[in-house]
Amino acid sequence: MADEKVTCLLRQPSGEVQEFDATQLDKLERVKVPGSLVWLDMEKPSKAELELLKTKLDLHPLALEDLENRRQRPKVDTYPGQYVVVAYEVLPGKSKDRSYEPGEIHMITTSESLVTVHWSPSPVIEDVRKRFQHPNTVIELSPGGLLYAVLDGVADGYFPLLDRLSDQIEALEERIVAGRQTADLLRDVLHVKRKLLELRRIVAPLRDVANALLRRDLEIVDDKLVPYFQDLYDHLVRVLDSVDLYRDLVAAALDANLAVQSNNLNVIVKRLTAFTVLLMVPTLIAGIYGMNFRFMPELHWPLGYPLALAAMAASVIGLVIFFRSRDWF
């Protein structure tokens, strides 16, 4: 692919950082010394570049298979001498109906290196790369620290998305309470519900990954990193709690929407019933009065016709007053 991108950063024990591209990886092996930290980043890797991981890093075949197939659930896999963590960051949506896209990131850690593989430009990777070149904390000085930095950036990216979803839910609730029932309302509610479901599907397993790292099931998490992974776990728990809360709010909004529609239907039925009664009483009087009698009232009682009209008007007025007193109009 024309947009393939492979970069490598090498930090020497002295603190010097060198950058290499895909054509200079052999030079990397010559200048690397014990205690160096290597970060290899691949964007939209080709099959040849994935094969490079297998030969240079001795990547496990199952991990390579996950890279080739993609669409993996967030997880952590343990292989001899290496660990593979899969996570999803929040990327801007590519269409109006998609406010965000999940960006898959595979992170392969060894005792002296981190390899990140992704298939879209990653703001999280770019941010961590800047920090790696100019470290100001201990988290950029080890493979485990780099792994935390990427995962922390992923977790922090969920909060702006939650804020946008919260605003959308509030707007939907206002539309429902105001009774502005439109053809798009139900679709918008279900759209938000689907986005929350997608978000939960990637956050819940990632929380379990953070929990496994916090329990120090992996050797790459040392004592200095434990508080950082505790903070990461707390962030993911907060995200997941917010997602569950918003799902409950969306479910309540759906119930409220159904209740409002049912109430509106009841109002319409009451009004139609009232109009039916209003028309039925004068029709009844006219039907009885207009029957083909042998002796029509007008022939024997000149006031019969006006009185019949007056009876119709009086019945209509009385029914209107009755129905208005019961809020049927």
45 and 177: one domain? yes
Q: For the range 201-205, what are the long-range contacts, defined as Cβ-Cβ under 8 Å and sequence gap of 24 or more?
A: 201/73, 202/73, 202/74, 202/87, 202/88, 202/102, 203/158, 203/236, 203/239, 203/240, 203/243, 204/240, 205/73, 205/74, 205/75
Is beta strand 98-109 parallel, antiparallel or unpaired with respect to 82-95? antiparallel
pLDDT surpassing 60 at residue 3 = no
Rg (alpha carbons) of the chain, rounded to whole number: 35
CA dist., res. 82 & res. 107, Å (int): 10
Where residue 206 falls among pLDDT bands split at 50, 70, 90? very high
275 and 138: one domain? no
Q: Which domain covers residue 306, as residue numbers? A: 262-325
pLDDT at 301: 64
pLDDT surpassing 60 at residue 184 = yes
pLDDT at 111: 81
250 and 272: one domain? no
The pair of structure tokens assigned to 230 is 């505790």
Helix count (H) and strand count (E) of the chain? 10, 7
253 and 312: one domain? no
pLDDT one-digit tens code per residue, 278-321: 778 778 777 766 665 555 555 566 666 677 778 778 887 887 78
Q: How far is CA 303 from CA 284, 290, 297, 309, 316, in A?
A: 19, 15, 8, 10, 20
pLDDT at 180: 64
Residue type, 108: I
Q: For the range 92-101, what are the long-range contacts, defined as Cβ-Cβ under 8 Å and sequence gap of 24 or more?
A: 97/191, 99/161, 99/164, 99/195, 100/161, 100/195
pLDDT at 328: 66
101, containing H or E segment: strand 98-109
Query: What is the rounded average pLDDT of the residues 241-268?
Result: 82
36 or 25, higher pLDDT? 36
Domain boundary among 215, 245, 261: 261
Phi (first) and psi of residue 327, to 5 degrees: 60, 40
161 and 75: one domain? yes
CA dist., res. 82 & res. 77, Å (int): 9
For the domain that residue 108 is a member of, what is the CATH number?
3.30.460.20
17 and 81: one domain? yes
Q: How many domains does the chain have?
A: 2
pLDDT surpassing 60 at residue 30 = no
316 and 170: one domain? no
Sheet with 5-11: strands ordered across:
17-21, 5-11, 37-43, 113-118, 98-109, 82-95, 75-79
Of residues 292, 290, 278, the one with CA closest to residue 321: 278
pLDDT one-digit tens code per residue, 92-102: 876 666 677 88
pLDDT surpassing 80 at residue 324 = no
CA dist., res. 208 & res. 226, Å (int): 15
20 and 9: one domain? yes
pLDDT at 290: 65
pLDDT surpassing 70 at residue 22 = no
pLDDT surpassing 90 at residue 151 = yes
